[in-house]
Chains A and B, each alone.
Chain A
Amino acid sequence: GENVEQHPSTLSVQEGDSAVIKCTYSDSASNYFPWYKQELGKGPQLIIDIRSNVGEKKDQRIAVTLNKTAKHFSLHITETQPEDSAVYFCAARSLSGYNKLIFGAGTRLAVHP
């Protein structure tokens, strides 16, 4: 069935460093890939998304890249700040199931001052 694998499960960086989170999806028909940030006690918040007809998208310090051939997509955070500390989830939209979103297991990012 549909599956999204996310790595790493935990990531620790120093403030100012870059952070990269990678995801792999199984459904080759997937065409939409959002990223969510979840802070403690809150629901996931959409931070950036990309469609399959685009290879890269950037929004200030956050960027997402997509490799459709390899079925990989990645989140890049530059110049990390302590407030970037949270759990990040990738997801892929499955066309085979009425646009159902399949989520990765999450990455806990810790940014140390």
Chain B
Amino acid sequence: KAGVTQTPRYLIKTRGQQVTLSCSPISGHRSVSWYQQTPGQGLQFLFEYFSETQRNKGNFPGRFSGRQFSNSRSEMNVSTLELGDSALYLCASSADSSNEKLFFGSGTQLSVL
């Protein structure tokens, strides 16, 4: 059974640009969560989708958005990139809405120059 797949693995952007990150959950999993990981802030919750509906949103500006498709694949978008957006973005999936047994992908390392 394939794990959570995130693409791309690495990304370099400049300030002001926008970026889209992709996540394919484990087959059969319906819940997808996104986290931002930085050395100073740890794992910060961005948002969670279940059956194409956003159930939770963390304390991030509106420049951060996401969506989930009918096949449970998810994308997150960051517009007007800032230097502080440089981070590892992690996607995680779980089988149902309980969020027990959350499985993480390897992440997308975003560098904003």
Contact with A along B41-82 (1 / 0, CB 8 A): 011010010100001100000000000000000000000000
Determine if B99 and A106 form an interchain contact, defined as CB atoms under 8 angstroms apart: no
Task: Check A106/B42 contact, CB under 8 A, given A98-B55, A98-B56, A100-B48.
Answer: yes
Task: Check A100/B107 contact, CB under 8 A, given A32-B100, A43-B4, A49-B100.
Answer: no
Among candidates A41, A43, A49, A102, residue contacting B45 with C-beta atoms closer than 8 Å: A102
A-chain residues with CB within 8 Å of residue B56 when the two chains form the complex? 97-98, 100
Q: Does A101 contact B (CB under 8 A)?
A: yes
What's the nearest-Cβ distance from chain B to residue A97, in Å? Answer: 5
Determine if A46 and B102 form an interchain contact, defined as CB atoms under 8 angstroms apart: yes
Chain B residue nearest to A42 (CB atoms) is B106
B-chain residues with CB within 8 Å of residue A102 when the two chains form the complex? 45
Name A's B-contacting residues (CB within 8 A): 32, 34, 36, 41-46, 49, 89, 93, 97-106
Task: Check A43/B102 contact, CB under 8 A, given A98-B56, A102-B45, A106-B42.
Answer: no
Of the A-B pairs whose beta carbons lie under 8 Å apart in the complex, a sample of 28, sorted by A's number, is: A32-B98, A32-B100, A34-B102, A36-B104, A43-B105, A43-B106, A43-B107, A44-B90, A46-B103, A49-B100, A49-B101, A89-B43, A93-B99, A93-B100, A97-B56, A98-B50, A98-B55, A99-B97, A99-B98, A99-B99, A101-B33, A101-B99, A101-B102, A102-B45, A103-B35, A103-B43, A103-B45, A105-B42
Chain B residue nearest to A105 (CB atoms) is B42
B-chain residues with CB within 8 Å of residue A104 when the two chains form the complex? 42
B-chain residues with CB within 8 Å of residue A105 when the two chains form the complex? 42
